[in-house]
Structure 1
Amino acid sequence: MDFDFGVLPVLVPVVLGAIFLVGGARQIRRNRWLVRHGGRAHGIVVAQDSRWSSSNDGSGGSYHHAPVIEFVAEDGRTHRAKSEISKTHTSFIPGRCVLVHYDRADPAKIFLPGHDGGPAVIFTLIGAVVLTIGLGALWAFWRGMTADDLMDNGVLFGAVFLCVGGSVLAIGVAGILATLRIKTGPRSRGVVIGETTSTGPQGMTRHHAMVRWTAPTGEVLEAPSGRGRLIRRIPVGTEITVRCHPRDPHRILLAGDWPELASFAFLLFGGLFSVVGGVITWAVLHA
């Protein structure tokens, strides 16, 4: 029986979806294992491992940052470990106290809640959607429809728009909701006691006010603001309102800190692509 090479374009989303799904699921499993069976400690972000990632044509790019954490393990030894996840935007900036789950046998393997978990979930969801689209196209191919037919009637075109748009939309929504959760968290009055810096996606230095405040529990805390400023740095000694994450009091935003513009851009373009993909798919299925 001769192999029908016409099935190759249909197999592409099946293979890609399976790779994303398996890779994301393995990362989620690894993170859960560290949470359940690994050691636990509070550490300090001491640096960011920043690397430039160029676009395919070399005309642009951005910096991706992986936080470097210093923590004391259960055996009393001090370790430094770098997150496996690099991001263009991260609130894990130098000076912030964070929770670390680590492998007791190899403390260099860590999991940072609030930083490392999201990408694995997104990869898994994207993989599941792409795999579903690919399996649907493969089923149609077995029913006698060719890859050209699938492209001509717009089913794959609409599905791709839905997949890309939905993924981008999810990133934008997640970013905005994460900020709003902090902005609606416990409120305190604090004072700026210093400053730390981080590097933005294009290499610009961002200045984060280091704030000391008294939590509702009576505990005196210090942490840098999660939102850096390029200009209008906050002077030392300034009294300011502090909002904390309900489950992580060292994750803070200050008065005037709102979601990044990038989150709104993801929301806008993701929503636009999703609507276009949905309209195309609906029109094809009801033609």
Structure 2
Amino acid sequence: MAIRQIQQILRSHPSSDGDGVKIQRVHGFDNAAFSPFLMVDELKSDQAADYIGGFPPHPHRGIETLTYMLRGHFQHQDHMGNKGELKDGGAQWMSAGKGVIHSEMPIMSDGQLHGFQIWINLPASKKMLPAQYHDFQSDVITEKQLSEKNLIRVIAGDLTIDGDTLTGPLQDTGVPTTIADWRAAAGEQLNSCLNPDFQAMLYIYQGAVSIEGRHAKAGELVMLTAGEGLAITATEETGLLLLSGTPIHEPVAHYGPFVMNTMDEIEQAIRDYQTGQLTD
């Protein structure tokens, strides 16, 4: 069984979005090895001024978003009438499809805010389908305590660990994906099997890890080589997101909140938004 190794490390960088919300961002719109993922934003603050404006109503077309909160709340409203408030440990998934207009408001919990928004591409065949939304509070996220200080949480798809397949509550993504959160003390290990057809990467949000003799640390996104096996050792108290999925072998055209296959489609999305037809 081929064991995945570190292929490339990308460092997240400070950015802002919405009404000045401060984030750490890493993206791969032009990187085929990133597919089916497009971007990972980390929101982490103990200062309300960093996010108080939130993300006022804005459009999307052609992508899915997965928002996952370690600490804090995240309020969602959209043009379809959906309203949701994530609490600590919860997740929400939205497929923009043909078009969605929504707003998002992060809120501290016990003086802390820490969460992520992941953009996932949609294949051309699904970019113009109706929008969808689901949220998943913490109590429905699949968990397994591998040891006293070694916890895996599976949010989307399936993950096999020591012969035991864990199934996350989110299964209807545009392409098959597996998304999980691993938290462990120094010296603990995660040994798992991934679909060999999936591309995979790790976003380390705390601590540091060793993978087949190479090291990575918090704030870095680790792109992994092909293979089925994955062996990670925490060299410090660690938290990371495991992101894997079926790559989409299609052109990517990106402008602001729209991700399509051609610039003509991007221009059409802009016209549709300006004329009120994005969500029709």
More strand by share: 2
- Point out the structure with max Rg over C-alpha: 1
More helix by share: 1
Q: TM-score, normalised by structure 2?
A: 0.26
Q: TM-score, normalised by structure 1?
A: 0.25
